[in-house]
């Protein structure tokens, strides 16, 4: 059994279709089907049931895929560890974040840490839609600013930043000149969302269910911030985002309007539990100091159109 075969299994399970899985893996569909049959023969169990719509994991398949994911994550940790030693990067701190991170706190913390530790290279690592937690677990980053909600099992986390949420609208939208809107005022608007994040994360951002018990009007999906903003700008949908995105992603064809009746985003600083390097401890100390000293209201959202 090879890691390549385990990657095949995980992708097939995620996509649910051999043709689309083959495209994602950059292999031919016959080659992928052959590899799956060989692995099923080697293991002596059927992993997927084939049907007209694609494939569905069997009970055995679900268990095998779960272990395959764990094995791949461990392999990534091994590779990451070896790579750090190969490069001699003993003085590197990798800081994860997504989109606008924790607003100005993200950039200020890296700058202050670098000032205090001039011999350490701080590498910012951006991830899309909740993937910073996986990056922590598989060793691609040492510490990260995590948008909540998130599965923090096995991680130490402390909330260091909060900010209100805004709705992103195309510049010509009827609500684009408002100073604030209720989430119920955009109930009928198609809402951008992603299949790349955990469902709990998606529902929280979408405010699902809405205060009146209704569900959002689900619009197009996206894989990253840039795809989301392009579709909002062209009028295909709206999006919900933290207020700092109105500054970090200001565009003339977008308007950012404060949402007046939804809970704010909470951002946690997180790192794996257990003994930590002095670099992680030092960065956490800097973030705590800056967060404590932050001026109230510094992250208020402003409309950009």
Domain boundary, last residue among 30, 59, 84: 84
Whether residues 69 and 215 fall in one domain: no
> β-strand 92-98 against 143-147: which pairing, if any?
parallel
pTM, to two decimals: 0.69
Residues near 51 by beta carbon (within 8 Å), at least 6 away in sequence: none
CATH number at residue 250: 3.40.190.10
What's the CA gap between 102 and 132, in Å, rounded? 13
- Measured from the Cβ of residue 203, the count of other Cβ atoms closer than 10 Å reads 16
- Is there a domain that residue 298 lies in? no
What's the CA gap between 123 and 130, in Å, rounded? 19
Torsion of CA 196, 161, 263, 156, to 10 degrees: 60
Upper half-sphere CA count for residue 94 (Cβ side, 13 Å): 16
Residues near 105 by beta carbon (within 8 Å), at least 6 away in sequence: 145, 160, 161, 267, 287, 290, 291, 294
Whether residues 168 and 157 fall in one domain: no
What is the pLDDT tens value at each position of the chain, 305 positions in all? Answer: 788 889 988 999 988 888 888 988 899 989 888 888 988 898 899 999 889 888 999 999 899 999 999 898 888 888 876 665 554 335 899 999 999 999 999 999 999 999 988 889 999 999 999 899 999 999 999 999 999 999 999 999 999 999 999 999 999 999 999 999 999 999 999 999 999 899 999 999 999 999 999 999 999 999 999 999 999 999 999 999 999 998 988 899 999 999 999 999 999 999 999 888 889 999 999 999 999 987 554 443 333 33
Domain boundary, last residue among 84, 113, 131: 84
- Measured from the Cβ of residue 107, the count of other Cβ atoms closer than 10 Å reads 15
Whether residues 150 and 18 fall in one domain: no
Q: How many residues does the chain have?
A: 305
Domain boundary, last residue among 84, 111, 132: 84
Residue-number span of the structural domain to which 287 is assigned: 89-162+265-293
């Amino acid at each position: 059994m090879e890691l390549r075969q385990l990657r095949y299994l995980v992708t097939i399970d995620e996509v649910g279709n051999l043709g689309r899985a083959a495209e994602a893996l950059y292999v031919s569909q016959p080659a992928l089907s052959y590899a799956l049959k060989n692995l099923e023969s080697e293991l002596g169990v059927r992993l997927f049931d084939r049907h007209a719509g694609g494939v569905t994991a069997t009970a055995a398949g679900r268990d095998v895929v779960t272990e395959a994911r764990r094995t791949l994550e461990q392999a990534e940790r091994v590779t990451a560890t070896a790579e750090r030693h190969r490069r001699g990067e003993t003085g590197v701190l990798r800081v994860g974040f997504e989109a606008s991170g924790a607003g100005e706190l993200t950039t200020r913390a890296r700058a202050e840490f670098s000032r205090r530790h001039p011999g350490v290279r701080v590498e910012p690592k951006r991830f899309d839609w909740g993937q910073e937690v996986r990056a922590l677990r598989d060793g691609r980053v040492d510490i990260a600013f995590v948008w909540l909600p998130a599965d923090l099992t096995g991680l130490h986390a402390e909330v260091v930043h909060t900010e209100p949420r805004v709705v992103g609208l195309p510049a010509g939208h009827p609500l684009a000149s408002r100073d604030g809107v209720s989430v119920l005022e955009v109930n009928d608007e198609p809402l951008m969302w992603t299949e790349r994040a955990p469902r709990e994360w998606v529902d929280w951002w979408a405010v699902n269910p809405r205060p009146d018990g209704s569900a959002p009007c689900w619009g197009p999906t996206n894989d990253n911030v840039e795809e989301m903003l392009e579709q909002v700008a062209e009028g295909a949908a709206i999006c919900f985002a933290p207020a700092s995105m109105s500054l970090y992603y200001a565009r003339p064809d977008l308007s950012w309007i404060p949402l007046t009746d939804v809970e704010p985003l909470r951002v946690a600083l997180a790192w794996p539990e257990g003994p930590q390097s002095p670099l992680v401890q030092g960065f956490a100390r800097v973030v705590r100091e800056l967060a404590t000293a932050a001026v109230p209201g510094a992250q208020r959202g402003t409309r950009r159109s």
